[in-house]
Amino acid sequence: MKKSISWWSFPGALAGKPELSLRECMQLARDAGFEGIELWLEEKGDINLNSTRQEMKRILELAREIGIEINSLATGLLFQYTLTSGKKEIREKGKTVVKKMLELAHYLKVDAVLVIPGAVDVFFNPSAEVVPYDVAYRRAFEAIKECVPVAEEYKVTIGLENVWNKFLLSPLEFRDFVDKFNSEYVGVYFDVGNILLTGYPEHWIKILGKRIKQIHIKDFRRGVGSAEGFVDLLEGDVNWKAVILALQEVGYERYLTAEIIPPYSQHPEALIYNTSRSMDFILRRS
């Protein structure tokens, strides 16, 4: 398994105000020992809904120049444009986001994208609508099904991520939901840390098996029980030995992508180096 880090882990990126250029982020990741980087589709930014094939070619060339691989493409826009919204225009925008991600990933030579399948509610937005579970299931399935032909055209997998959305809460349900599409281009983007509140990542990994196409890692303290419980790697309750053994058991050999929220400090770039070293320990690298 190889090490990658999410664009969100860099100073200011989560707030949409990155303090470093894309080149600087790639170089910092490479200098810290990462082999890959996960980029993000945003409303405004280096990769957005109006980005072109030529622009993606330049980003790919930049990555090759620096010596780092773009291993996945993600977005937070699907919390805003949920595939399960009660408003048709929002669901349609969400499908547009997914289809654009698949297109841009193809240009970036990325074979899987992160897709939030929908939500019963949005945990960080108390004013967001609450969608009945069965309705969310139906809308999510219909929306993703419409995107499958695009995924198959570009040969890029739709990686459905487990998030705090009160939806697809069991690994058995998640497995069966993925299998209903009957397409090799629908799989799982599994987030290790997101499961800690309600389950054990090693159990999910063994059940989801070959369906897992990408992995997010972060750590979490169960006793906190809220988003404040997300902590730096090795500071939470993830049983990393069990997780790595489970991944090896199901034959996962791809990237582990760290998604760590940077602290407010004078030297947030130190988080990149510390995360890389923690991942070396997790992977038992000397």
264 pLDDT tier (thresholds 50, 70, 90): low
Task: Identify the CATH class of 2-282.
Answer: alpha beta
286 pLDDT tier (thresholds 50, 70, 90): very low
Q: What pLDDT, in 10s, does the model give residues 198-233?
A: 999 999 999 999 999 999 999 999 999 888 889 999
User: What's the predicted TM-score (pTM) here?
Assistant: 0.95
Domain boundaries, the chain: 2-282
Q: What pLDDT, in 10s, does the model give residues 112-165?
A: 999 999 999 998 888 889 999 999 999 999 999 999 999 999 999 999 999 999
Q: What pLDDT, in 10s, does the model give residues 159-196?
A: 999 999 999 999 999 999 999 999 999 999 999 999 99
State the Cα–Cα distance between residues 94 and 88, nearest whole angstrom: 10
64 pLDDT tier (thresholds 50, 70, 90): very high
| Listed residue (250, 156, 165, 235) closest to 201, CA to CA | 250
User: Which tokens go with 253?
Assistant: 């050999």
Strand residues in the chain grouped as ranges (E): 2-6, 36-41, 69-75, 112-115, 157-161, 186-191, 212-217, 219-220, 230-231, 255-258
